[in-house]
Amino acid sequence: MPRRFLVTGGAGYVGSHLVAALGDRGDTPVVLDNFSIGHRGAVPAGVQLIEADLADPVAVDAALAQGPWDAVFHFAALSQVGESMRDPLRYLMENAGNGMRLIDACVRHRVPRFVLSSTAALFNLPGDGPIPENAPIDPQSAYGESKWAIERALRWASQVHGLRYACLRYFNAAGADPQGRLGEDHRPETHLMPLAIDAALGRRPPLTVFGTDYPTRDGTCVRDYIHVTDLAAAHLLAVEAMARGDVRWNLGNGAGYSVMEVLQAVERVTGRAVPHVLSDRRAGDASSLVASAEPALRAGWQPRYAALDDIVRTAFLWRQAHPNGYGS
Ligand code: UFG
């Protein structure tokens, strides 16, 4: 029987890829978005849309009242590490406040399962080893701190009210729908891969490389890039895994690439040079973030687009076909 899911931030980058995956599977996603970041063009025709702001408790309550829901997926959030270091209280108030308001409404409306879009920005381990889900929590940014606050709230909602939850800590989401239906379009764009692709296409000024003195193999930050469609698949699996208990999964490919290595991949895939300039560190950046995704892999998660060049290729093809993203 088709199941019905509420997806907050379903018009955003990762959320829209989950909405597509749910639709492909025959389930019924309902998108809740205020379009402050998401795009109307990312919501497929025929998908029910609730235009609402999670800061508005009356609107949140009205949305949850449209259940029953098999689960709520919570993506809607501010998500820029750098911005969160310029305006930390905004991140804490909006992300944590909205998350807790939504959890509270889920408890009152007897939603059985809650899946949180969480982040690798919870961690800051020395060295470049893979990070397991039980590694010490030590956010280096207000963004990471805001997601940790929601994870903690979920723990209490589970313990006291029986709300089952999954915290999915993405490492670096990247790439675009392999069928070309969806892609990455942040305004402003701050992420490495789309900026490097646009720099290669001559659509932006040279890319600024933030920091060349990190304790990594070439001095630039190392990240674990995970295809957004593989992330969507992990969400579907998490809903099944929650039948066996609450879930905390780190989601990445277990392979780290430096900023310079990403630029080289973009050059291989596009066949063009990526103009760039070297610069100082960006506040809030950890040196190396690589996932150990063992629990998700044991539960049957099988990333299909693990090769860095495949991730870059899907992002490049979408950008070529959509030079203005989802439009003005
Ligand atoms: N970088 C540059 N130049 C740029 C943009 C990025 O050198 O113009 C570098 C960053 O300093 C970082 C790496 O490229 O070392 C990746 O940066 P992104 O901004 O693409 O991604 P982040 O690692 O900062 O953050 C992403 C998500 C967060 C998430 C985090 C967890 O945006 O939501 O991954 O790893 F929390």
How far does the centroid of ligand 1 lie from the alpha carbon of residue 191, in Å? Answer: 5
Do 153 and 219 have their domain in common? no
- For 242: left if phi > 0, alpha if psi spans -120 to 50, otherwise beta; the answer is alpha
Assigned domain for 181 exists:
no
Do 163 and 261 have their domain in common? no
Residue 289 has pLDDT above 70, yes or no: yes
- 221 CB near ligand 1 (under 6 Å): yes
Assigned domain for 28 exists:
yes
Q: CA quadruple 170, 171, 172, 177: dihedral positive or negative?
A: negative
The count of structural domains within the chain is 2
Do 233 and 313 have their domain in common? no
Question: What whole-number distance in Å separates Cα of residue 40 and Cα of residue 34?
Answer: 10
Domain assignment of residue 199, given as a range: 192-223+255-327
Question: What whole-number distance in Å separates Cα of residue 143 and Cα of residue 124?
Answer: 13
pLDDT tens, position by position, 97-141: 999 999 999 999 999 999 999 999 999 888 889 999 999 999 989
pLDDT tens, position by position, 54-70: 999 999 999 999 999 99
CB 37 within 8 A of CB 12: yes
Against a cut of 0.85, is the pTM above it?
yes
143 is catalytic: yes
Chain-centroid distance, C-alpha 85: 19
Question: What whole-number distance in Å separates Cα of residue 276 and Cα of residue 195?
Answer: 10
pLDDT tens, position by position, 24-51: 999 999 999 999 999 999 999 999 999 9
Do 231 and 289 have their domain in common? no
Assigned domain for 104 exists:
yes
Question: What whole-number distance in Å separates Cα of residue 29 and Cα of residue 245?
Answer: 23
- 223 CB near ligand 1 (under 6 Å): yes
CATH number at 279 reads: 3.90.25.10
- 318 CB near ligand 1 (under 6 Å): no
Residue 229 has pLDDT above 90, yes or no: yes
Question: Which atom of ligand 1 lies at the shortest distance from residue 191's CA?
Answer: 20
Which string of b and e fits 244-268 if b means at least 16 CB within 10 Å?
eebbbbbbbbbebbbbbbbbbbbee
